[in-house]
Every structure is written in structure tokens, then in C-alpha cells.
Amino acid sequence: MVKKRNAPSGGFGAGSSSKMRKTANATKFYAVRHGREPGVYSTYDECQAQTTGFPGAKFKSFLTREDAQAYVAGHENPSADKPKFYAVAVGHVPGIYHTWDEAQPQVTEVSGPKHKRFNTQEDAEDFIRQHASPETCRRLGLSLERTQEYTGAAFEPVETSTRKVKAEPAPRPKAVPRAAPRAEANHEINGNVLRIWTDGSSLANGQAGSRAGLGVYFGPNDERNLAERLPGEHQTNQRAELMAILRALEIAPSTQDVEIVSDSQYSIKCVTQWGPGWEKNGWRTAAGVEVKNKDLLFYLGEDFGRWF
């Protein structure tokens, strides 16, 4: 029997110097770094009450709460501190650049250039995967998965010492009813294989303030159906998809043959193609780059006793 442990809880263009006009109704956030009660306030009157007459008071207004919070934490120019990633998928020298001055020469006088600015490395890499040639992706050390594109690939069943795990694409249920007796659910297929649907998603994927969640669906009115917030600091689609699979395998009996249904090509290829090689390579890609989400992949490969 496999011993199971809990999963860890844990378009840019040519550029313009003109600035966007502020509207009269623009929401402002007032950050008080030094005052009676440091924090972020929604009105100037609240801010003034914390700073008037306070020795060495420091405060400033921002257009986003994230920048205001960063200022309170000690960053002088929060927006400027945020890294930018310029993805050049088609250009003189495709790649990811950190300034427009570096990226612009790569797309100038190129027929049909493809480029875009992102706030996260992950999104920039996904853009290149979607628009660059396979040869370019390999040269840049990027795996050829497309994290948001469903192509219909499926897991193949693999026999293990205790159970068979299989996953294939199938229509995703739209609702996840809960809290009814398990006996009411008809979730077994082919007599003894348990089919489980998993899914994960993220709002503002990979950016500051992003929020991700996951779902596990066993069948109508099955008490094991699960919907929860993704734990941990990194709130991305990919982590949510992997965590959903982990949760499904935690909940399912270890001796039960299961079929995992997922539309995440990233997750499918991680556990069926890339995982064993990454593990042997010390959790680094062929290009020597540290594998993302290796903590979750470790649990898939180690704690459940096998790769799929």
C-alpha cells in the first residue's frame, strides 16, 4: 500500500513618453509610512489625522493599493521597483528582456514581429511558447507546453504496485454540489475505476495580489467534492492545477484505481513526460534552470510512490 502524506501547504509597442491623464474620479490610496498609525487610508482626511502634528511624518498618495502598501513597507518608488519582462517571440534574437531599450532593437525592421510586455517571467515564457517556433523554445530552454491551450492530450494508463492511475480529457462538470451522502454518487467507471475531475485557476496570474483556487470533483452530491483557495505565496494557474491533482489523490483510497480528468497540458506533461527526467537531474531542466513548482512535483513523484 502506498503511504500518503499531506501535500505541502505551503503588448508593448514602440514606447511613448506621454503620460496617461489622471481622471478627476481616480481612486487614490493614501500611504502613511511615518505617522500615528502607519498604514493605507482611503481618504485624505484619514491620512491627515495620522500625520498632522506628527514629527517627521511621511505620507504619499498612490493609484493602487499595492503601491501604497509597498511604500508603507519602505519602497520609495514601488512601481519602478516592479520588474518588467519583454517577451520577443519573433525577432532578430528572440528571448526575454528586462528593458524596452534592450528589446526594441530585436523587433525593429523585422517582418511580422511578435512581442509583448509582461509583469511576470512565467507569462513572458508562455507567450514565447505560444508564438515562437519549437526550435526557438528549445534554444531558450523552454519546454514546449502551452499552459493555457487544451489540445486534447491524455494520460495513458500505467499499472503501479497498488493501483492504476489514468487521466483523459472529458467534459468538465459546471457545478460542484457538496455535503450529500457518498452513496448517492455514481462516480465509478468500468466497474471499479474512480473518475475524478480536477481544475485550477488564478486571477491576475503570477502578479502581485493574484488569487488562485482549485477544485476536485468526484460526482454529483459526493461529499468528497472540494473547492478551496490555493495555499502558499505563489498564486499561479500551474500550481493550482498541480495541487488539485494532489488533493484528488490524497482523498481517493490508495488501493483504488483512479482516472484523473484534467485539461492542464502543463500538469499532464509534468507527470507523464518531464517529471522523471527533472528528478534525475536534481530538479533542473536540460538548460540547467531550476524547475518551477518542484515542491509539488516532488510530492507527486515521492509521496505517492511513483510517477504516473
Neighbours of 55 (CB within 10 A): 5
Using DSSP's 3-state secondary structure scheme, residue 97 falls into strand
Tens-digit pLDDT profile for residues 103-129: 888 888 888 889 998 888 888 888 888
In the predicted model, what is the mean pLDDT of the chain?
73
Q: What pTM did the predictor assign?
A: 0.44
Tens-digit pLDDT profile for residues 242-300: 999 988 888 888 788 888 889 888 888 888 888 888 888 888 888 788 889 988 888 77
Checking if the pLDDT of 55 tops 60, the result is yes
What string of H, E and C letters represents the secondary structure of 8-34?
A: CCCCCCCCCCCCCCCCCCCCCEEEEEE
Give the Cα separation of 236 and 203 in Å (integer): 8
Half-sphere exposure of 213 (CA within 13 A, CB side): 7
CATH superfamily of the 85-139 domain? Ribonuclease H1, N-terminal domain (3.40.970.10)
Ranges of each domain in the chain: 85-139, 158-303
C-alpha cell at 121: 517571467
Neighbours of 137 (CB within 10 A): 20
Give the pLDDT of residue 36: 92
- Inter-CA distances, 139 with 146, 173, 185, 288, Å: 17, 39, 49, 12
In this prediction, residues 154-179 reach a mean pLDDT of: 40
CATH class assigned to 158-303: alpha beta
Confidence of residue 162 (pLDDT cuts 50, 70, 90): very low
